[in-house]
Amino acid sequence: MPHDAQLKTQTARVSTDNAQRLQYLPFARPDIDEASIAAVAEVLRSGWITTGPRTAQFEAALSSYFGGRIVKTFTSATGALEVALAAAGVGAGDEVITTAMSFAATANVILRVGARPVFVDVDLGSRNIDLDQVETAITPRTKAIMPVHFAGRPVDMDQLYEIAKRRGLRVIEDAAHAMGACWRGKRIGSTGDIVVFSFHPNKNMTTIEGGALVLDDADEAVIVDRHRFHGIRKSADGDLDVEMPGGKYNFSDVAACIGLGQLARLDEFNVRRRALADLYFERLQTDPPMSLPDRADEDHCWHIFSPLLPLEHMSFGRSEFIRRMHARGIGVGVHYPAIHELTLYRERGYAERSYPNAERIGHGTVTLPLFPAMADSDVDRVCKAAREVLAEAKTRRRA
């Protein structure tokens, strides 16, 4: 090949490589359409931007989505979980059984109402709480069970509620990952005790920040309202009184505009998420192999796709894996460290090495890109990068 032609070929190859590096693929990205953006602008011009008619419309749409149940929106799922515990009567001296594998907020809200988290290990494949171990963890102080539908895969709702009914316990479902997931054809949130969803930007639908609490009991809904807004009670003639030190978690009409647009597209989003997860199962083949989550049926809404690294066969750890993926333009998250290994819980005497599956996940999990706007070729790009990085880890170990 002539020198000039060879130089042009090399230059083109370098340009392509640089372009690929510049096209950074995050592990999550919201998809907000122009109609929602226009609706937000309309609300901003209206002069009414806090809790108002759009919030009422969004709560009504969510209620319809969940089969007519009562829905209360919140500024965060964390706030909704804390209020759910308080409304269920959980407080000082009580115990709440929950999973050792979740975001810290799941356990933190239990501490914040004065109760004690009792951790239970998870299944290694589904990442969901081991319900057989829940049974053995119940004591006279147990007031509630708080499972997490991890990554959008529902826990066994039949077994969960059979235990709760037989033992007289409340259930607060942390469904932050599970918007659009189903259990035996019924949407998570359409049945059950109290169910809480998240609308954070990396979730299956977003309101920028926000969450929702779903329940049936009208009297408890009144308690939720008072916890949600300063403990205020208003009489029919408009007089105001405060009977409890409530918080402030009320939703905004700006967020509700985005939520309405997102809810209308949720099924579309989740169909695409399932298709992307299927592609990962087909194409994510590495040497040494990553440990993939259990493959589930159409009831799984695939909030995240989080395989486990083969750490025992690698010459470097997770942080270096993430760095090398980032250098290839691939964003990687971590969902999550095991809760009992966090400083807050170590200092409270939660024994390390007590929940082996949660610890294995916490040390080796990585979250790969998965969001509806991804192309099939993006999955190929992630899989190629993972193969390359793990091949480097294996090569270095052999050397």
Compute φ and ψ for 394, nearest 5 degrees: -70, -40
In a domain, 29, yes or no: no
> How far, in Å, CA of 206 to CA of 200, rounded?
5
Q: What local confidence, expressed as pLDDT, does residue 15 receive?
A: 46
> How far, in Å, CA of 371 to CA of 126, rounded?
20
Q: Containing domain of residue 389, as a range?
A: 3-24+266-398
Q: Are 176 and 53 found together in one domain?
A: yes
Percentage, residues of the chain above pLDDT 90: 89
Q: Are 253 and 367 found together in one domain?
A: no
Q: Are 151 and 72 found together in one domain?
A: yes
- Domain end among 259, 283, 301: 259
Q: Are 57 and 38 found together in one domain?
A: yes
395 pLDDT band (50/70/90 cuts)? confident
Report which of 305, 330, 311 is spatially closest to residue 386, judged by C-alpha positions.
330
Q: What is the pLDDT of residues 11-62, one digit of tens each?
A: 444 444 555 545 999 999 999 999 999 999 999 999 899 999 999 999 999 9
- The answer on pLDDT for 187 being more than 50 is yes
Chain position carrying tokens 């042009």 = 8
In a domain, 120, yes or no: yes
Q: Is 203 a catalytic residue?
A: yes
- The answer on pLDDT for 161 being more than 80 is yes
DSSP string computed for 230-299: TTEEE-TTS-EEE-S---B----HHHHHHHHHHHHHHHHHHHHHHHHHHHHHHH---SSPPBPPPP--TT
Report which of 210, 213, 118, 227 is spatially closest to residue 175, judged by C-alpha positions.
213
In a domain, 296, yes or no: yes
Q: Are 208 and 134 found together in one domain?
A: yes
Q: Are 278 and 171 found together in one domain?
A: no
Residue 225 maps to which CATH number? 3.40.640.10
- The answer on pLDDT for 229 being more than 70 is yes
Q: Are 75 and 149 found together in one domain?
A: yes
234 pLDDT band (50/70/90 cuts)? confident
6 pLDDT band (50/70/90 cuts)? low
Domains identified in the chain, total number: 2
Q: What local confidence, expressed as pLDDT, does residue 399 receive?
A: 53
Q: What local confidence, expressed as pLDDT, does residue 330 receive?
A: 98
Tokens of 14: 């370098």
Burial of 137 (0-12, 13-18, 19+ CB in 10 A): middle
Q: What is the mean pLDDT of residues 297-317?
A: 95
Q: What local confidence, expressed as pLDDT, does residue 296 receive?
A: 82
- Domain end among 259, 276, 306: 259
Q: Are 62 and 185 found together in one domain?
A: yes
Asked if residues 298 and 274 have their Cβ atoms less than 8 Å apart, the reply is: yes
In a domain, 103, yes or no: yes
Please tell me which residue in 8, 72, 186, 203 is annotated as part of the active site: 203
* Mean per-residue pLDDT of the chain: 94
In a domain, 348, yes or no: yes
Q: What is the mean pLDDT of residues 97-101?
A: 98
Q: What local confidence, expressed as pLDDT, does residue 236 receive?
A: 86
Residue 361 maps to which CATH number? 3.90.1150.10
Do the strands 142-146 and 95-99 form a parallel or antiparallel pair, or are they unpaired?
Answer: parallel
In a domain, 66, yes or no: yes
Q: Are 130 and 227 found together in one domain?
A: yes
In a domain, 314, yes or no: yes
- The answer on pLDDT for 170 being more than 90 is yes
Q: What local confidence, expressed as pLDDT, does residue 25 receive?
A: 98
Compute φ and ψ for 242, nearest 5 degrees: -125, 125
In a domain, 378, yes or no: yes
**Neighbouring-strand partners of residue 212:** 73, 197
> How far, in Å, CA of 55 to CA of 311, rounded?
47
**Helix ranges restricted to H, the chain:** 3-22, 34-46, 53-65, 77-87, 105-112, 131-137, 157-167, 218-228, 253-283, 318-327, 343-346, 356-364, 376-398
Q: What local confidence, expressed as pLDDT, does residue 220 receive?
A: 98
Q: Are 14 and 113 found together in one domain?
A: no
Q: Are 229 and 286 found together in one domain?
A: no
Tokens of 299: 């009831």
Q: What local confidence, expressed as pLDDT, does residue 2 receive?
A: 54
Q: Are 309 and 209 found together in one domain?
A: no
- Domain end among 241, 259, 277: 259
